[in-house]
């Protein structure tokens, strides 16, 4: 799995996020001065499949780029953590995200083929 640097401005949410979690994670990352986990993106549209909170941290900190790994969305298993309210395919997730109609926080779940690689980028290098 290859880590690449992606512009924060190009990232798009597929679901909501927790403001409290963003605040906590912002403090953690700034205290450590290290970005140590890449976000997961689809390979076509820069949709954030995993890392909604880290994406928001990058915006709060006004970072220019962050580490990411890309996946072909069609190859991933995707399901709803709220099956009583939402059933969808990866195509529907993409369509809604591109329209700006994101799912609620903790709705879309993915199974990735391997655990994410760890990384270690000094925060100062991401501005």
Q: With a threshold of 0.85, does the pTM exceed it?
A: yes
| Axis crossing angle, helix 19-32 with helix 52-60, rounded to the nearest 10 | 60
Q: Mean pLDDT for each consecutive 10-residue tract of the chain (127 residues)?
A: 96 98 98 97 97 98 98 96 95 98 97 89 97
The class that CATH gives domain 4-126 is alpha beta
Residue 79, strand partner residues:
109
* Chain centre to alpha carbon of residue 82: 19
């Amino acid at each position: 799995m290859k880590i690449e640097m992606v512009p924060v401005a190009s990232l798009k949410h597929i679901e909501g996020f927790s403001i409290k979690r963003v605040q906590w994670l912002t403090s953690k990352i700034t205290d450590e001065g290290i970005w140590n986990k890449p976000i997961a993106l689809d390979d076509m549209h820069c949709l954030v499949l995993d890392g909604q909170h880290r994406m928001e941290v990058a915006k709060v900190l006004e970072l220019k780029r962050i580490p990411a790994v890309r996946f072909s969305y069609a190859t991933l298993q995707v399901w709803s953590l709220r099956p009583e309210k939402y059933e969808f395919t990866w195509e529907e997730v993409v369509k809604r995200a591109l329209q700006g109609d994101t799912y609620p926080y903790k709705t879309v779940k993915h199974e990735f083929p391997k655990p994410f690689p760890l990384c270690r980028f000094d925060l100062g290098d991401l501005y």
